[in-house]
Homo-oligomer: A and B are copies of this chain.
Amino acid sequence: MTAFGFEVLGEDGRARRGRLTTAHGTIETPVFMPVGTAATVKGMTSESVARTGAEIVLANTYHLMLRPGAETVDKLGGLHSFMDWEKPILTDSGGFQVMSLTNLRKLDDTGVEFRSHIDGTKFLLTPERSIEIQNLLDSTVTMVLDECTANGVDEAAAAESMKLSMRWAARCREAFEQRDGYGLFGIVQGSVYPDQRLESAAALVEIGFDGYAVGGLAVGEGQEAMFSVLDVTTPALPTGHPRYLMGVGMPDDIVGAVQRGIDMFDCVLPTRSGRTGQAFTRRGTLNIRNARHAEDPRPLDPESDYPSVGNVSRGYLHHLFKAKEMLGPILLTTHNLHYYQELMRDIRGAIEQGRLDEFAVEFRAQQAQGDIEPL
């Protein structure tokens, strides 16, 4: 059996080059996790996800508990078998979606009672049930149930919410069934308030987790506020455990967060944008639906060194989106996930060479150039 563990292979400023070992394989960090909400990264086969370089995916407990149900996934062998993905899977706790996407029925110390958006069925999500569901899903990395505060909350409310999250974190730790190679992560809350963040971090470290996430960000506070929170928070987290910034983000956010000591990321941007025709490239984003691409024989990202989507032209991709063909979203999702994995590979290389700050400057300069010139 494999112990769940994190090794810091090298450092560059506050950035770390690490390796996470799990029951389902190792993960080189800093890492980006594609989002596979309903046990599928939208538009991708598990094989095509792996071919982008992804070593771990995220799945959403909220969606899976409603459909097909955690017990059904368990009967079908757990999430790895269910979605034909043998590598690690991280699941969130379900709390974020329950509290932001559904009509709340009741939120108290016990947990959250809510109705399914699919058929109105009543559910109760408690710290213990969230852990049980993630156990049934066979998640490699389980997240504690927490409350994610909205942007703009005042400090008193942020403190009260954070304390609730810390009580839930302790109950999750208690409920989590320890298995070789499986891990449980705590989540730092406290909104934009340094004292609350520090208190939250200390509370989690006191309980003891296999990894530490920073939650409650990427909710509209802006990059500067987010980076400020990281500047306060990551130094308060133990160096020997992975740090995960939830729901982030744009390529530029990721580079800056790695510089501030973050090891793990997830975000729907590359997949969601891909479905609407937005492509990430070394020279910023572009929308392939734009008429200027209609007869362009060049690839999406001529400066990329990988053939993310075969030898297709911008003109072909433009055609696919105009004709509403499924292959358009498929290829742009593939491309964007490739882009994100290539970015993480380059970030890891820069840390290894001790030149992450230079890399960040070059990265931002290249992004600022904007898309390649029309032919």
Q: Interface residues, chain A, CB within 8 Å of chain B?
A: 38-40, 42-47, 63, 67-68, 72, 75-77, 81-84, 294-295, 297, 309-313, 315-316, 318-320, 322-323, 325-327, 329-331
Query: Is B68 in contact with A322, judged by CB distance below 8 angstroms?
Result: yes
| Bound CA–CA A95/B316 (angstroms) | 24
Which of B76, B294, B320, B327 contacts A297, CB < 8 Å? Answer: B76
- Kindly list chain B residues whose C-beta atoms are within 8 Å of the C-beta of A63: 323
| Bound CA–CA A330/B45 (angstroms) | 8
| Bound CA–CA A320/B45 (angstroms) | 12
Interface centre among A82, A84, A323 (most CB of B within 10 A): A323
- Kindly list chain B residues whose C-beta atoms are within 8 Å of the C-beta of A83: 312, 316
Q: Which residue of B lies closest to A76 (CB)?
A: B315
| Bound CA–CA A68/B293 (angstroms) | 12
Query: Is B67 in contact with A327, judged by CB distance below 8 angstroms?
Result: no
Query: Is A44 in contact with B327, judged by CB distance below 8 angstroms?
Result: yes
- Kindly list chain B residues whose C-beta atoms are within 8 Å of the C-beta of A75: 295, 297, 315
| Bound CA–CA A311/B83 (angstroms) | 9
- Kindly list chain B residues whose C-beta atoms are within 8 Å of the C-beta of A318: 68
Query: Is A297 in contact with B77, judged by CB distance below 8 angstroms?
Result: yes
Query: Is B323 in contact with A38, judged by CB distance below 8 angstroms?
Result: yes
Q: A329-B326, A331-B45 are in contact. Are A40 and B72 (CB under 8 A)?
A: no
Query: Is A68 in contact with B330, judged by CB distance below 8 angstroms?
Result: no
Query: Is A325 in contact with B45, judged by CB distance below 8 angstroms?
Result: no
Name the distance in Å between A117's Cβ and chain B's nearest Cβ.
12
21 A-B pairs (CB sep. < 8 Å): A38-B319, A42-B327, A43-B326, A43-B330, A45-B310, A47-B310, A67-B319, A67-B322, A67-B323, A68-B318, A68-B319, A68-B322, A72-B294, A72-B295, A72-B319, A75-B295, A75-B315, A76-B295, A77-B297, A77-B313, A83-B312
